[in-house]
Structure 1
Amino acid sequence: MKRNLALVTAFVALAGTAFAGDKESVQTFYDLLSDPSSKQLQAAFVEVTSPDWESVGDYSGENEGRDGFLGQMGFFAKLMPDLKWDVQTMYQDGNFVTVRSRATATPTGPLFGVDGEGRSFDIMTIDVHELEDGKIIRTYHVEDWAGALQQLSGR
């Protein structure tokens, strides 16, 4: 009986260690979002994602790949130099890591056609990252961009 308990304890410890690596990979994603112009974080993002990683953010069927996403991050770095993406909660279930986060920024120009005239936004985001063999293969995401635009328009 003691041996079985020791085996179960060892298995749980090993599984926890494996999950910790997955969460570290996912955290790299948010580190990049908070400093999108960092070449070091861009390289780290490439390291923790699969070559065919997909960003799934709507139902258009037009998912964005890694290169397109990195290009978008370059645009965000210029438009929102103070962009911060703060992880509030991270939960792992098997190969999926779910994250609730908070994005804040003060755009220096129009965001989705709305000129905030120096205003900031503070929105909630929800992401589900799918991992395979320790790499993020897909990220499903929802951001409250409507709330951001409302805040920027002063309503």
Structure 2
Amino acid sequence: MTLKSIIASAALVTFATGAFADDTATVTTFYDLLSNPGSQERVADFQEATSEDWISLGDYSGNNKSRESFLGQMGGFAQLMPDLNWEIQDMHQDGDTVIVRSRATGTPVAPFFGVDGQGRSFDIMTIDIHELEDGVIVRTYHVEDWAGALQQLAGK
């Protein structure tokens, strides 16, 4: 067996075992839920795409959100912003890490973080880092420009 044959065989085994799995479809379910937070189908897809002990890290207080707590927040967002849309603009995968740049838009129908937007909408950029194990998301780090959203809603 030549060195070329050994390398080709190793590459085939690597691809066959999923070592270079494309996890972008799994991560996309996260944004499908954000854009349709009231959909039970999207909730089920999200639960399938995340581990039972999935955590959301992005609260500046240092507190993490569990999957159940996050889903509860999404239910509130569904009522507060029926037109919430989270559009993926760019996605990169490196091993078991998927980084997403997205754009969130919405029009709150009631005060949002204490700001009465009076029918105004917001349009902000977000960055997320999803860590996967065995094809499911176990951890998500995220940053959203909520200060920018509040300025837009306040008309500033």
Report the TM-score, using the length of structure 2 for normalisation. 0.90
The equivalent of 1:68 in structure 2 is 69
CA distance in 2, matches of 1:16, 1:83: 34
Q: Structure 2 matches for 1:120-135, cutoff 5 A?
A: 120-135=121-136
Q: Structure 2 matches for 1:4-153, cutoff 5 A?
A: 4=6, 6-7=8-9, 10=12, 13-14=15-16, 18-20=20-22, 22-153=23-154
Change (3 A) 1:112 1:59: closer
Give the drift of 1:18: 4.6
CA distance in 1, matches of 2:54, 2:131: 10
Q: Secondary structure at the match of 2:61?
A: coil
Give the drift of 1:62: 1.3
CA distance in 1, matches of 2:8, 2:104: 43
Q: Tell me, which stretches of 5 or more residues in structure 1 are unaligned?
A: none
CA distance in 2, matches of 1:51, 1:109: 32
Give the drift of 1:15: 7.6
Give the drift of 1:94: 1.3
Q: Deviations over 1:24-59 (max 9, x none)?
A: 110000000000000011011111111110000134
Percent identity, aligned pairs only, is 62
Count of paired positions: 154
Give the drift of 1:103: 0.2
Change (3 A) 1:81 1:7: same
Report the TM-score, using the length of structure 1 for normalisation. 0.91
What is the root-mean-square deviation in Å for CA atoms of aligned residues?
Answer: 1.8
Q: Secondary structure at the match of 2:33?
A: helix
Give the drift of 1:3: 2.5
CA distance in 2, matches of 1:68, 1:4: 49
User: Does structure 1 conserve the Cα–Cα contact (< 8 Å) formed by 2:14 and 2:20?
Assistant: no
Matched AA of 2:88: V
CA distance in 2, matches of 1:85, 1:16: 29
Q: Secondary structure at the match of 2:117?
A: coil
Q: Which moved more, 1:138-147 or 1:7-16?
A: 7-16
Give the drift of 1:12: 6.8
CA distance in 1, matches of 2:25, 2:72: 23
